[in-house]
């Protein structure tokens, strides 16, 4: 899998004129990578993800997956949103298998895939439960299982843990790393949480404020415990160095924007 975003440009018409959300976005994601894009509100993170998912069309530039230009949604790109978007009248197994049913996957194979991915996310015993019976973190696990069940080339995640409390969020971050290693799924995630981006990523793209541009790409190289990252790494000086570097990049841009606004 190779995702290539080239010279991506997106503008929106408003009552007060045209707003440029993204400008000259160039990035790539390779098979098996876990990459994050981090930026403050208004940096165009969600717009970028929607363009990659094919939920919106760029004003200029293009997105390609394995050399094929993205012109709309496709099974090669799974999507996980901040809100769980589960169907309340369906049980958990039915929610996970819903996309497979729409794709015409046979019932036998569908049951096998649903069972496998519920086991991956640790929810096999809740297959017959309704979403209202699950906690927020468990609902997000279901959403991840549903996206993975279609076996996409890349999993796109739009601030998936933004609505969770701090303790649940940390547990879900650790869980996501385990799922990534187990399934070897390519993941591209957007977040405004710098600590989250550093903890999860192999690479980070730092987005500037509107218009969103790639300010810098950082490769994250952190020591592991027995090959795994755990929450203990957040106390490591190298982790703090990366966090400070990203925060500095975001702060410099924000301060520059404030100064520019004050001089108009």
Average pLDDT over residues 10-30: 92
Asked if 146 and 22 sit in the same domain, the reply is no
- Can you give the pLDDT at residue 226? 67
Average pLDDT taken over every residue of the chain: 90
**How many CA atoms does the CB half-sphere of 43 hold within 13 Å?**
23
100 is a domain residue: yes
- Return the CATH number at 27: 3.40.50.300
161 is a domain residue: no
Asked if 171 and 66 sit in the same domain, the reply is yes
Residue 255 has pLDDT above 90, yes or no: no
Predicted TM-score (pTM) above 0.85: yes
Q: How many CB atoms lie within 10 A of CB 167?
A: 9
Rounded (10°) angle between helices 136-149 and 92-102: 30
Average pLDDT over residues 4-27: 92
Residue 167 has pLDDT above 60, yes or no: yes
- Can you give the pLDDT at residue 84? 78
Asked if 67 and 85 sit in the same domain, the reply is no
227 is a domain residue: yes
Tokens 């106390």 belong to 235
Asked if 124 and 143 sit in the same domain, the reply is yes
Number of domains in the chain: 2
Give the domain extent around 201.
2-73+167-175+183-262
- Can you give the pLDDT at residue 260? 33
Q: How many CB atoms lie within 10 A of CB 113?
A: 19
218 is a domain residue: yes
159 is a domain residue: no
When pLDDT is cut at 50, 70 and 90, the band that residue 143 belongs to is very high
């Amino acid at each position: 899998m190779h995702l290539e975003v080239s010279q991506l440009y997106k503008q929106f018409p408003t009552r007060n004129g045209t707003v440029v959300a993204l400008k000259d976005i160039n990035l790539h994601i390779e098979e098996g990578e876990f990459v994050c894009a981090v930026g403050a509100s208004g940096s165009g993170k969600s717009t970028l993800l929607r363009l990659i998912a094919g939920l919106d069309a760029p004003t200029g530039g293009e997105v390609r997956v394995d050399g094929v230009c993205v012109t709309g949604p496709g099974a090669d790109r799974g999507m996980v949103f901040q809100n769980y978007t589960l169907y309340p009248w369906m049980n958990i197994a039915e929610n996970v298998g819903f996309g497979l049913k729409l794709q015409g996957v046979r019932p036998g194979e569908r049951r096998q895939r649903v069972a496998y991915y519920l086991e991956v996310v640790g929810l096999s015993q809740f297959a017959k439960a309704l979403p209202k019976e699950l906690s927020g973190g468990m609902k997000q696990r279901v959403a991840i299982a549903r996206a993975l069940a279609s076996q996409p080339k890349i999993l796109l995640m739009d601030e998936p843990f933004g609505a969770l409390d701090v303790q649940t969020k940390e547990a879900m971050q650790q869980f996501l790393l385990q799922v990534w290693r187990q399934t070897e799924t390519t993941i591209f995630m957007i977040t405004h949480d710098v600590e989250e981006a550093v903890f999860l990523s192999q690479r980070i793209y730092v987005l500037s404020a509107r218009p969103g541009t790639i300010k810098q790409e950082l490769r994250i190289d952190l020591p592991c415990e027995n090959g795994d990252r755990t929450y203990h790494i957040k106390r490591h000086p190298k982790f703090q160095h990366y966090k400070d570097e990203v925060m500095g990049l975001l702060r410099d841009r924000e301060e520059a924007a404030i100064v520019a606004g004050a001089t108009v």
